[in-house]
Structure formats: C-alpha cells, structure tokens
Amino acid sequence: MSVEIKINVNNRDYRLIVDEEDTLLYVLRERLHLTGTKEGCGNGECGACAVLVDGEPVRSCIILAAEMNGKNIVTVEGLSKVEKDGTVKLSPIQESFIEEGAIQCGFCTPGFVVASSALLEKTKDPTDEEIEEYLSGHLCRCTGYATILKAVRKAAEKTR
Amino acid sequence: MRYFAPASLEEAINILLEHEGAIILAGGTDVMVEKRSGKIEPSAVVDIKKLEGELRYMRLSDDRLEIGSLTTITDILHWGKLPHEVTSLKDAARVFGCHEIRNRATIGGNIAHASPGAEFASTLLALDATVQLAGKDGKRELSMEDFFLGPGKANMERGEVITGFSVPLLSGSSSCYMRASRVDGMDLAIINCAIRLQDLDAENLAVRAAFGAVAGKPIRIVEAEKLLAREDFEGVKRLLFDTLNPRATSLRAAPMSKKLLAGNLAEDTYKIAKERLAG
C-alpha cells in the first residue's frame, strides 16, 4: 500500500506518494536522486546514511518515509549553497574535510559531514572528547579518524 | 506491510487489535533493524509518535519519577532535573547506542523489545520500577520482574501499549548502571549490572542488584544482593561464577567469559553506587 507524504528536503517542498515500506534513505536516493546519502550497513550501525530531520542527525536507513510527513530534512547536498552565478559554496565543514584530506574511500564522508555540521550548530567550540562522543556511531573502515577529527576542529575554528 | 499513525491511544489499541501481526513503532531503532533483517515480518506498523504530547514526559511527583514511554534516550541524558537517586538512568542513557540512535530510541521501546541485555531493563529492575500498560480493558501496572518473560518476550497482551514507567525515589538511596562491552560507543552490553543502595541505618544497607545478558531475561539475584550488602566481593564473584548459566547463543561472549565478568562488574557497580550514596 502507498501513502502520501509532504516533506521539505534541502529547502524544497515535495509531495510524494511512497510505498508504506519505503525507508527515508530509499526515497532520498531513488525518488529524489539525492545520492550523496549512502547505505552502508543498512541496520543503523554505521552512520553512512545520516541526515538531519528537524535539525537533529538520525539514521535514514531505519526510518520509514511514511514517518517523515511534515518534517524538514537536510542531506549532505543541502549543506552547500548555490550562488546566483551558479557557483557552489561549500559549508565550512565540507571545506575543512577537503583541506585536511579527511577522506579515503569516501563512503562514510557524507554521514560524518552531516553529523559534524549538526554538532557545530550546537557547539561552536567542541572539545576533542565531545567530537569523538558525538561521532562515535560513525564508522570509517579506512580508519581515517585522525584527519576527520582534525577537519571538525578546523571547521569549528572557521565558524567561530 | 501497512503503516498507521493513530492520533489517540484508543485508536492505536484498536488498530493493534484489528491487525493480527501488527507491531508498535516508536523510535524504530529495534523494529526497523529487525524488519530489514527479516527477523520479524509485521503485517502492519503502528507508529505511535503522534502520541508524544501524551506519552513523552518526565515528571516528579510524591517521591516518584514518572517517565512516559515515548521519552527518548536523549531526553533522559539531558534532563537537568533527574534526581540523584536515579543517576543509573543517566548511566544507561550515556552508553546507549550513539547520538543518532539516542535521538530516536525511546525508553518504552527499549523495554518492550525485552532484550535480555537492554540498558534500561536491568536499570529499571534494580530501581524497582513499575511499567504501565494500556489496553482495551483499561490500564494495568506490573513490576519489572513480572514484565520480562524471556528473550524478546514481554508480559504484554495483543493490543496493549506501554504508556510509562513509575520509579520510586527512596530517601537515602543511590544507584549505578555499568556494562561490559567491547568498545565504548555504539555497542551492546556483553553483560550489564544495575544496583540500587539504600541506607537502612548506620550499619546496614539494602541492596537491589539486577543483571542483564546473563540469562534469557534481565534478572535480580537476591543471594548476590546479600553478599554485596556485606561487601563480600569475593563471595559475589564465586556465587555468580558458580550459579550463572548464560545462554550459549549469545553473540557477544562465551558463557565462561560472562561468568567470570559478572562478579567484577557487580563489585565495580556497587562501589560507584556507594560513593554516590556518600554524596
């Protein structure tokens, strides 16, 4: 059976008919073609599918799209801004990930970037411990954690 | 699978009764994982999050703490008014999953799932909490001991919804929850232990000790409580090693490891609770 939902994704309103079993992740990737959000483990353990729902990071692979009626969703694509002349302006956290080379295979990166941006919305000056705690549910199987920490610290400095 | 989002408790109960094989969906951090892995195949999910106005609360009243079933783990972790007697609830919230999981997971869901190692199962059991249920015939209240029946099995009738928990706040008491796990973040307990202490008089302590993931359901071990009250830690270790019979099907550790760990964990948990009692 299907159900109608109204959601706002990256500042755009959508009215969608979705299957009752569709996950939020599926709808973002396959219906809205926002493929920045990744499916890693598919059971809420790895964090690759993190998106913001009403400003809070959640795992889109274990949330039904039907649950999202009326919600505001931000994916990794929504963190950057497109200027009037068409150029893309990355967010401080995205810039810092590039500058610090906080990436190896890149699969975990959207999840880390989305969660880190939520952290920096809350705390402008997080301690290393706070960053580690906040991101503890995100797995990087290339084990590039040191550069990720560096990037988040650098982005915090930029936004201060 | 059908999806329902009832706007009232009564409507939720009716949908659960009308649809055989329907399951309640709160935060979804257990239900969705089990559905996606094929472990459960619900005919319908009944999303009760529209009942947040009614079921998401933490209130202090008459020496009790009342917690609504839709209270999230993040709510518990960051509630500034949590009484010191029930600090174990914060201990459990702190190690629960990770930030994103805590944002969605609810205390009601953690208990309804009846996992033998659930963080809040041993915690609420040691705190002598009661669980409140609503169904077609009205409300009922059960002790945590009577609620858990076995792995994944709770004392809930079809059509019943957990509405909340009531936790007594004893004067001169303290509590602690600890778990053994492979890593600090995003892990489940190998075993866990929750303890509540109460000062009876200058020399005597009343101890309630609950253990998770050492049996098919979270259990209180009265003999261990007596030994802990005498601070006979070697006795506790011997008792738990000799008497525990953990399931061999556990994914996280062999039964022998759990038998060896239990007494040490009980000692550590007791000592922190004792420190908290002193203030």
SS (H, E, C) A101-121: CCCCCCCCHHHHHHHHHHHHH
Give the torsion sign (CA, B213, B216, B222, B227): negative
pLDDT score of A14 more than 80: yes
Contact (CB, 8 A) for B123 and B95? no
Instruction: Please indicate whether, in this complex, the C-beta atoms of B99 and A57 are within 8 angstroms of each other.
Output: yes
Q: Collect all residues from B whose CB is shorter than 8 A from any CB in A.
A: 1-3, 5, 25, 28-29, 32-33, 36-37, 45, 47, 49, 97-101, 103-104, 184-186
Can you give the pLDDT at residue B249?
83
A-chain residues near B99 (CB < 8 A): 57, 115, 133-137
Query: What percent of chain B shows pLDDT beyond 70?
Result: 100
State CA B71 to chain mean position distance: 13
pLDDT (mean) for A32-53: 97
pLDDT score of B185 more than 80: no
Instruction: Please indicate whether, in this complex, the C-beta atoms of A137 and B1 are within 8 angstroms of each other.
Output: no
Give the integer Cα–Cα distance in Å for B156 and A4.
Answer: 32
Looking at this predicted complex, what is its ipTM? 0.94
Give the integer Cα–Cα distance in Å for A11 and B166.
Answer: 42
Give the integer Cα–Cα distance in Å for A20 and B35.
Answer: 13
Q: Where are the alpha helices (DSSP H) in chain B?
A: 9-18, 31-36, 52-55, 73-78, 87-95, 99-104, 107-112, 119-126, 144-147, 222-229, 233-243, 255-278
pLDDT (mean) for B17-21: 97
pLDDT score of B96 more than 80: yes
Instruction: Please indicate whether, in this complex, the C-beta atoms of B32 and A1 are within 8 angstroms of each other.
Output: no
pLDDT band for position B244 (50/70/90)?
A: very high
Give the integer Cα–Cα distance in Å for B229 and A35.
Answer: 58
Query: What percent of chain B shows pLDDT beyond 90?
Result: 92
Contact (CB, 8 A) for A75 and A36? yes
Can you give the pLDDT at residue B279?
77
Between B45, B103, B186, which is nearest A58 by CB? B103
Class of domain B57-279: alpha beta
Can you give the pLDDT at residue B24?
98
pLDDT (mean) for B66-77: 98
Can you give the pLDDT at residue B248?
86
- Calculate the average pLDDT of chain B: 96
pLDDT band for position B183 (50/70/90)?
A: confident
Strands A2-9 and A72-74: parallel
Closest CA to B129 of B118, B117, B121: B121
State CA B10 to chain mean position distance: 26
Between B3, B32, B184, which is nearest A20 by CB? B3
A2: phi then psi, degrees, rounded to nearest 5: -115, 165
pLDDT (mean) for B36-60: 97
First to last CA, chain A: 48
pLDDT in tens, A100-134: 999 999 999 999 999 999 999 999 999 999 999 99
Can you give the pLDDT at residue A143?
86
More confidently predicted of B97 and B185: B97
Instruction: Report the DSSP beta bridge partners of residue B61.
Output: B64
pLDDT (mean) for B242-257: 90
Between A23, A42, A58, which is nearest B100 by CB? A58
Can you give the pLDDT at residue A92?
96
pLDDT score of A144 more than 80: yes
**Core vs surface per residue B219-247: b (16+ CB within 10 A) or e:** bbbeebbebbbeeebebbbebbeeebebe
Structure tokens at B40: 């459960």
Can you give the pLDDT at residue B252?
84
- What domains are defined for chain A? 2-78 (3.10.20.30), 81-159 (1.10.150.120)
Can you give the pLDDT at residue B10?
98
Can you give the pLDDT at residue A41?
95
pLDDT in tens, B106-161: 999 999 999 999 999 999 999 999 999 999 999 999 999 999 999 999 999 999 99
